[in-house]
Amino acid sequence: MSRYPLYFGVIFMNYRDIYNSFLHDLENIQRHYSLTEQGLKISEEIKSKLEQYLRKIDELNSLEKLKNNLDYYTVDYSASFRKLRKRLIFKLGELVNLGEEIEKIMYTLEREKNK
């Protein structure tokens, strides 16, 4: 699990929870509504984006493991940590952007199911 929870009032969500929420919404729409051809294309796009999202979560988890295994007594610990921090911030940005993109596509699918 990711160690970067998002705080919404009293509810904590980590990135895996957000992924599961998107997946649950997509499955509910597919189960309860008959989608148009455009709706089916949109749902396939969402599935593809969710696979990318899951890969990004795994990349973040790998970076976190790398951080935990970084030896404080390494010759250049602070430089190594700065590089790792920079990569982590970049990956977090990618994950947030991808989440926003999925949210927009989900909204499009929501409109499509109401047609």
Per-residue pLDDT tens over the stretch 89-109: 999 999 999 999 999 999 999
Sole residue written with tokens 């935990």: 68
- pLDDT at residue 4 greater than cutoff 80: no
- Both tokens of 63, joined, read 């970076």
- Rounded CA separation 4/19 (Å): 14
Can you give the pLDDT at residue 63?
87
Per-residue pLDDT tens over the stretch 7-51: 555 467 788 999 999 999 999 998 888 888 898 999 999 999 999
User: Can you give the pTM of this predicted structure?
Assistant: 0.79
Can you give the pLDDT at residue 1?
44
Can you give the pLDDT at residue 97?
94
